[in-house]
Amino acid sequence: EQQVQQSPASLVLQEAENAELQCSFSIFTNQVQWFYQRPGGRLVSLLYNPSGTKQSGRLTSTTVIKERRSSLHISSSQITDSGTYLCAMDLHNNRIFFGDGTQLVVKP
């Protein structure tokens, strides 16, 4: 069973549009992280958001534990935002599970 589900699988935007990425979990978790990855690149932590809403620059994450979901909002998208966005959650015993990611393409 896939523990972490992400949607959409892929997304194409025009520059300056906003994006909303979704993540849902099979169980309750209080440890949610969002990552960014360029093709073949290192994963970079964007936001660590166990609950509520957190913001970092143009990124806003909202996690609702009781609904087992988290979202990542990207405002005023830029071409350099293109890449894969992954969410991850803790299951138990510090085992961290990842979704398959959302591939974002921002076009000029």
Partner 1 sequence: EAAVTQSPRSKVAVTGGKVTLSCHQTNNHDYMYWYRQDTGHGLRLIHYSYVADSTEKGDIPDGYKASRPSQENFSLILELASLSQTAVYFCASRDWGRNTGQLYFGEGSKLTVL
Per CB under 8 A, the list member of 8, 18, 27, 41 interacting with partner 1 is 41
Q: Name the nearest CA neighbour of 30 among 72, 63, 73, 71.
A: 63
**Pick 15 or 41: Cβ nearer partner 1:** 41
Per CB under 8 A, the list member of 4, 11, 21, 104 interacting with partner 1 is 4
**Pick 16 or 27: Cβ nearer partner 1:** 27
> What's the farthest any 2 CA atoms get from each other in the chain?
44
Listing DSSP states for 37-63 in one string gives E-TT--EEEEEE-SSEEEEETTEEEEE
How many chain residues touch partner 1 (CB under 8 A)?
25
For partner 1, the binding residues (CB under 8 A) are 4, 6, 31, 33, 35, 40-45, 48, 50, 86, 88, 90, 93-101
